[in-house]
Amino acid sequence: MLERLWNEGSWIVLGFYFFLFLLSLAKGAAPERICAGILLIIPFIDQLHHQALGGSIIYREVDLGHMLIDVLVFCSLLTVALHANRVYPLWLGAAQIIAVITHFYRMSLPDIDQFAYQEMQVMSAYIQIAAITLGLWCHVARRKRHGSYPSWRRTAAAEPAAGWDMPAS
């Protein structure tokens, strides 16, 4: 059973990403939709990467295309996490850091087992599925309890700091 789960893991992850994206369209707000969309697009970018290059560019046992994809996904999730009025995008970003660091770890220690390298990448996807599921559930529950609330944080630059008076013009 577990062997089948590992062998078909990418299809399971894609199925969860697709389901969570549809659920976020129906029940979520902008941060949920953006985060679910980012996660959903990863497998398609990966396929495009492999088709465009006709293979992988490997440097010190690391697929540089996968590394670039993981870095771009991390930057995207970090942008959402810094602006969203939610906690779970930080969890998504933390899981993505694991995926990014895995590449650097493999690059610095090429002796690491290939299975361990791949599992470190796959486990971050499972963590992200759990995080966005919990985040979406919390968002729906909060909206039921308190009604509508802002999806994005207000920036500190938009308002003066407390206790500081603006000079009269």
Question: What is the per-residue pLDDT for 166?
Answer: 52
pLDDT digits (tens, 9 = 90+) for 78-89: 999 999 999 999
Distance of alpha carbon 144 from alpha carbon 153, whole angstroms: 20
pLDDT digits (tens, 9 = 90+) for 5-14: 445 567 888 8
**Nearest partner of 39 among 50, 51, 31, judged by Cα:** 31
Question: What is the per-residue pLDDT for 105?
Answer: 87
Which DSSP letter does residue 28 get? -
Confidence of residue 159 (pLDDT cuts 50, 70, 90): low
Q: Whole-model pTM above 0.85?
A: no
